[in-house]
């Protein structure tokens, strides 16, 4: 529901301002309307990352006292064609395969994610491609400094106005052609997160130091490794261990990135011709059963070289499947405060149903969206 509302607000705001929201290089205007979120989903990672808990009462109180929090938004394009916006997770490989498989098991309810996760882990499918990214060289902090986003976050406050930042980014890209970096290899997972993506199952999230409104995205690359090593990486998401402290995992704080899978439908005819030529040479060098064993071993160790195997995964964009594997992603900054009509509905509901007891409120560590006067504002409202 949040994704649909967010897309509608962004589209309407840009339409009213006369801006093309589908252009990958267009500077978009922040929305003026506010969005209030009551957690009722499978993971509730947006509420967990902004409020610090997935408790509906706590979220309602934040809406009542008028707390607002700017959030980074990523625009996703394919060949300059707009696909979607993302505010939490863009996952390719493992998380994309889990979502794709779970969509065929919707009748199972939330348990489908566990079953699809185990199935995807056992298949241990990896994908070959090239990731090109523009590092956020002028941003404060790093993805591994373990500094969470909290009230008065220095990293988020360091940001300059959106228009000035966009102009600087354009100058940086045009003046410094070597700013872009590329990584090519075989990946089990490629994840881009604009927030920590914390949830009850992963209290620290996919990237504990990701910030809500610093105009950057944490790009996590998990290279091909053994099943046991990948399991260690996954288990570290459930504890306080550093999930990036592994030789096959690297993380970068970026402003833009592109991904191009190897030997997919968008590849050039020359690449596919070279692939077929290599296979013909291999077939001529071996004969009989020996040829079958060798080619079978090659296909198992290098699925991207087998035309009958799946050469690409799909992208998990905030729980929605993207139809293209090759994408271009750009990080934007929007402001999503709480909408006044929603606040009026909540006020009327609470007045009709009595006061909310203070002991229902979770008083955990104050997240970035909570200001120091929040609880005082609630107590003043409770005495009405």
Could you write out the three-class secondary structure of the chain? Answer: CHHHHHHHHHHHHHHHHCCCCCCCCCCCCCCCCCCCCCCCCCCCHHHHHHHCCCCHHHHHHHHHCCCCEEEEEEEEEECCEEEEEECCEEEEEHHHHHHHHHHHHHHHCCHHHHHHHHHHHHHCCCEEEEEEEEECCCCCCCCCCCCCCECCCHHHHCCCCHHHHHHHHHHHHHHCHHHCEEEEEEEEEEEEECCCCCECCECCCCCCCCCCCCCCEEEEEEECCCHHHHHHHHHHHHCCCCCCCCCCEEEEEEEEEEEEECCCCCCCHHHHHHHHHHHHHHHHHCCHHHHHHHHHHHHHHCHHHCCCCCCCCCEEECCEEECCCCEEEEEEEEEECCCHHHHHHHHHHHHHHCCCCHHHCCCCCCECCCCCCHHHHHHHHHCC
Give the model confidence (pLDDT) of 61-76 as tens digits: 888 888 777 888 889 9
Give the distance between the most distant pair of CA atoms in the chain. 87
What span, in angstroms and rounded, lies between the C-alpha atoms of 305 and 329?
A: 27
DSSP β-ladder status, 320-322 and 315-317: antiparallel
Within the chain, which residues score under 70 in pLDDT? 159-178, 263-310, 333-384
> Alpha carbon 175 to chain centroid distance?
29
What span, in angstroms and rounded, lies between the C-alpha atoms of 367 and 91?
A: 25
What is the crossing angle of helices 269-285 and 288-301, to 10°? 140
What span, in angstroms and rounded, lies between the C-alpha atoms of 31 and 3?
A: 14
| The predicted structure's pLDDT at residue 310 | 58
| The predicted structure's pLDDT at residue 23 | 82
| Six token digits for residue 31 | 């929305």
Contacts of 321 (CB under 8 A, 6+ apart): 96, 99, 100, 103, 314, 315
| The predicted structure's pLDDT at residue 281 | 60
| The predicted structure's pLDDT at residue 270 | 44
| The predicted structure's pLDDT at residue 95 | 94
Question: Is residue 185 classed exposed, middle or buried when 0-12, 13-18 and 19+ CB atoms within 10 A define those classes?
Answer: middle
- Give the chain's length: 384
Question: Is residue 120 classed exposed, middle or buried when 0-12, 13-18 and 19+ CB atoms within 10 A define those classes?
Answer: buried
Give the model confidence (pLDDT) of 243-293 as tens digits: 999 999 999 999 999 999 986 544 444 444 555 555 566 555 555 555 445
Torsion region of 171: left, alpha or beta (phi above 0 gives left; psi -120 to 50 gives alpha): alpha
| The predicted structure's pLDDT at residue 44 | 78
Number of alpha carbons in the 13 Å side-chain half-sphere of residue 374? 23
What span, in angstroms and rounded, lies between the C-alpha atoms of 260 and 239?
A: 33
What span, in angstroms and rounded, lies between the C-alpha atoms of 244 and 237?
A: 10
| Six token digits for residue 39 | 């957690």
């Amino acid at each position: 529901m949040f994704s649909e509302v967010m897309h509608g607000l962004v589209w309407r705001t840009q339409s009213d301002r006369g801006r093309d929201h589908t252009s990958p290089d267009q500077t978009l205007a922040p929305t003026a309307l506010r969005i209030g979120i009551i957690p009722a989903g499978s993971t509730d990672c947006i509420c967990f990352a902004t409020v610090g808990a997935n408790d509906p009462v706590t979220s309602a109180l934040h809406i009542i006292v008028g707390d607002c929090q700017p959030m980074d938004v990523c625009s996703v394009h394919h060949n300059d064609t707009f696909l979607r916006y993302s505010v939490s997770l863009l996952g390719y490989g493992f998380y994309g395969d889990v979502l794709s498989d779970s969509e065929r098991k919707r009748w199972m309810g939330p348990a489908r994610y566990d079953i699809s996760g185990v199935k995807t882990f056992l298949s241990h499918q990896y994908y070959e491609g090239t990731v090109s990214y523009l590092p956020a060289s002028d941003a404060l902090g790093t993805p591994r400094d373990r500094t969470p986003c909290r009230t008065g976050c220095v990293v988020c406050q360091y940001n300059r106005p959106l228009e000035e930042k966009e102009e600087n980014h354009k100058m940086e890209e045009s003046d410094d052609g070597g700013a872009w970096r590329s990584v090519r290899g075989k990946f089990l997972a490629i994840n881009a997160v604009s927030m920590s993506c914390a949830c009850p199952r992963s209290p620290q999230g996919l990237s504990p130091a990701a910030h809500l409104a610093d105009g950057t995205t944490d790009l996590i690359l998990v290279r091909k490794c053994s099943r046991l090593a990948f399991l260690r990486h996954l288990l570290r998401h459930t504890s306080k261990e550093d999930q990036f402290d592994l030789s096959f995992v690297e993380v970068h704080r970026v402003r833009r990135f592109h991904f191009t899978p190897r030997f997919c439908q968008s590849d050039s005819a020359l690449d596919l011709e070279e692939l077929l030529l290599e296979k013909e040479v291999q077939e001529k060098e071996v004969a009989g059963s020996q040829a079958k064993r060798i080619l079978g071993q090659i296909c198992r160790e290098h699925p991207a070289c087998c035309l009958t195997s799946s050469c690409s995964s799909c992208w998990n964009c905030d729980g929605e499947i993207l139809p293209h594997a090759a994408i271009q992603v750009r990080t934007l900054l929007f402001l999503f405060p709480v909408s006044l009509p929603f606040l009026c509905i909540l006020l009327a509901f609470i007045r009709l149903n009595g006061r909310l007891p203070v002991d229902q409120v979770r008083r955990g560590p104050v997240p970035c969206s909570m200001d120091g006067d929040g609880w005082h504002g609630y107590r003043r409202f409770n005495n009405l």
